Amino acid sequence: MTDMQPKKMIILDILQIIQKHSDKDHRLSQRDIQKLLEIEYGMKVDRKTISRNIITLAQCNYPIEYGSNGDETIMTNICYDHKFLNGELRLLIDSVLLTDGLSKKERISLIRRIEGLSSKYFHSEISKIDMDIYGRIENKQIILTLEEIGSAIAEGTQVTFHYHDCGMDGELHPRLESNCKKKQYTVNPYQIISKNGHSYLICNLPEHLDLTHFRIDRIKDCHKTDVPSRSLRMLKGFETGIRLSEYIKSHPDLWSGTLTHITFQCKRYMMNDVADNFGTDLNIEELPDDMMKVHVDASESSMLHWAVRFSDAVEVLSPVNLRKMIAETLRNALKKYEV
């Protein structure tokens, strides 16, 4: 053994070698570990030292697997049982790629750290990803914002922040009061959700008794307060503790509004879009000609915009006033294109 590192570091070096260079599909021998220790740390270690430290690591509950023929100094098939499957890590990487507000540099940094949760054999193929196609407006405060909101939700307190809109210059600009000062929002936070490729804070404005939402990447100067937040059960429609997941299903595209029973018909091939927006727990009737009738409880404003988006395939049957609003919206849109 050389004197390049203290003896007490050997166990940590062996642990790092096993974590980096092995998994259940790529196992090491003691000889492999000896070579890697010499290459990466300049250390020459005998077989007994390696086996003794591996046994110690396993006794300390590190997830190291190995085989033995009865002689504890001779180990085979040594590997580290990583906590995450490669597919799970890819899900995390996809989430980072789609997170609003992060810069390209921050995305790459996070992805590199996620890669470090597995062996060197896990490849996210980041070099093949065109990071620029995920370019969005940067918000350097987004990580702190998520921390403040998460802490406030856990402790049941309000948060304050300034909200921003995208300007014609492609930059974020704060919403202003009539006196041109930044408008400060105070909300009761309940949950962060992902919808339509964006992250939102579902919350309540204290002066109202319903839910609203704000894009996370457009929030800045967010601070947790010591003021207790209002219970969700105190809000209109949530007296019996309706889950927020039901709110999301009944508000496609996150348009607000009071729930109304709505019936619409569309082609059966629309089922994927219907499920994506309203969930799968639906009352559906089969109709002739590959049509179906769907009954949902949703806000009228949400349904109006959803129906207009799919106006070539969807027809709202009731309520009548919603049909009229959709018709008026389509007529006004047609006027813009009529010659």
Helix (H) or strand (E) holding 149: helix 142-155
- On whether both 186 and 222 belong to a single domain, the answer is yes
- On whether both 109 and 173 belong to a single domain, the answer is no
Helix (H) or strand (E) holding 172: strand 172-174
pLDDT at 26: 94
Checking if the pLDDT of 141 tops 60, the result is: yes
Mean pLDDT for 206-211 is: 90
Vertex 72: Cα angle to 68 and 78 (nearest 5): 50
- Confidence band of 5 (pLDDT split at 50, 70, 90): low
User: What is the tally of structural domains in the chain?
Assistant: 4
Is the pTM for the entire model greater than 0.95? no
Checking if the pLDDT of 18 tops 90, the result is: yes
The residue range of the domain holding 63 is 7-80
- CATH, residue 44: 1.10.10
Radius of gyration over every alpha carbon of the chain, rounded to an integer in angstroms = 28
Report residue 87 as tokens.
Answer: 């597919």
Q: Quick check: is 246 in a domain?
A: no
Mean pLDDT for 81-107 is: 86
Domain boundary among 80, 98, 114: 80
- Confidence band of 135 (pLDDT split at 50, 70, 90): low
Mean pLDDT for 49-67 is: 94
Domain boundary among 241, 270, 295: 241
- On whether both 177 and 108 belong to a single domain, the answer is no
- On whether both 58 and 91 belong to a single domain, the answer is no
pLDDT at 339: 67
pLDDT at 333: 92
- On whether both 220 and 292 belong to a single domain, the answer is no
Report residue 233 as tokens.
Answer: 């059960």
Report residue 30 as tokens.
Answer: 């003691």
Domain boundary among 241, 264, 282: 241
Report residue 191 as tokens.
Answer: 């949950």
Checking if the pLDDT of 1 tops 50, the result is: no
Q: Quick check: is 44 in a domain?
A: yes
Q: Quick check: is 11 in a domain?
A: yes
pLDDT at 240: 76
Report residue 8 as tokens.
Answer: 């007490």
- On whether both 230 and 256 belong to a single domain, the answer is no
- On whether both 94 and 74 belong to a single domain, the answer is no
Checking if the pLDDT of 131 tops 90, the result is: no
pLDDT in tens, 263-277: 999 999 999 888 888
Lowest mean per-residue pLDDT among 27-31, 164-168, 228-232, 306-310: 164-168
Report residue 315 as tokens.
Answer: 């027809």
State the sign of the Cα–Cα–Cα–Cα dihedral 267, 271, 273, 278.
positive
pLDDT at 2: 47
Q: Quick check: is 102 in a domain?
A: yes
- CATH, residue 298: 3.30.70
Checking if the pLDDT of 29 tops 70, the result is: yes
Mean pLDDT for 173-193 is: 94
Mean pLDDT for 290-316 is: 92
Look at residue 211 and give its three-state secondary structure.
coil
- On whether both 109 and 157 belong to a single domain, the answer is no
- On whether both 232 and 294 belong to a single domain, the answer is no
DSSP conformational letter for 126: G
Vertex 293: Cα angle to 291 and 298 (nearest 5): 135
Q: Quick check: is 264 in a domain?
A: yes
Q: Are 302 and 257 in contact (CB under 8 A)?
A: yes
Q: Quick check: is 228 in a domain?
A: yes
Q: Quick check: is 2 in a domain?
A: no
Q: Quick check: is 1 in a domain?
A: no
pLDDT at 83: 93
The CA distance from 54 to 72, in Å, is: 10
- On whether both 235 and 273 belong to a single domain, the answer is no
Checking if the pLDDT of 334 tops 70, the result is: yes
The CA distance from 96 to 106, in Å, is: 9
Look at residue 128 and give its three-state secondary structure.
helix
Helix (H) or strand (E) holding 86: helix 86-97
Q: Are 214 and 203 in contact (CB under 8 A)?
A: yes
- On whether both 159 and 221 belong to a single domain, the answer is yes
pLDDT at 6: 61
- On whether both 225 and 157 belong to a single domain, the answer is yes
Checking if the pLDDT of 134 tops 80, the result is: no
